[in-house]
Structure 1
Amino acid sequence: MKDYIEDRVLEIAKYIIDSKSTIRHAAKKFGVSKSTVHKDITERLPKINPKVAVEAKNILDVNKSERHIRGGKATKMKYNVSNM
């Protein structure tokens, strides 16, 4: 694996752990696709640093379990704002 990819993987993982962000937010911050972030965290990171991979995966699992709630809140806000 090339050095710049390893650096990106570690930077993205650190960002996700520190900010508890979603894959979507990390992708936007680093200017890569959601697929790239997902592959970096789930496939590449465990080979580079397994301990950090577990931390990042835990945060992504929490985000995944809460995403339906965030989506519902966003929809509610969208329609409440337009009715005013």
Structure 2
Amino acid sequence: AGVVAGYSLSLAMGVVQFDAVTNTQWLAVPNFVLPEFKWQAILFMVPVAIAPAVEHIGDMMAISQVTNKDFLKKPGLH
């Protein structure tokens, strides 16, 4: 409701501009480029990839202790 009210108020005040919408092509082929690898981005994502793995192992250990079953062995971590 807040988004609708704010947008309606912006339209009434003349803040919203439709120039970019009216001047653009409706059908166009995007510019395709070859992927490039940046080491800064890759190194930044390594902790993001490792964190869920560590969390999963911790969850499996906690569930194993609560249920008195060793879920690290059966079904195991693959």
When normalised by structure 2's length, the TM-score is 0.30
Question: If you compute each CA radius of gyration, which structure gives the higher value, 1 or 2?
Answer: 2
Q: Return the structure number with greater helix share.
A: 1
- Larger relative contact order, structure 1 or 2 (CA cutoff 8 Å, min sep 6): 1
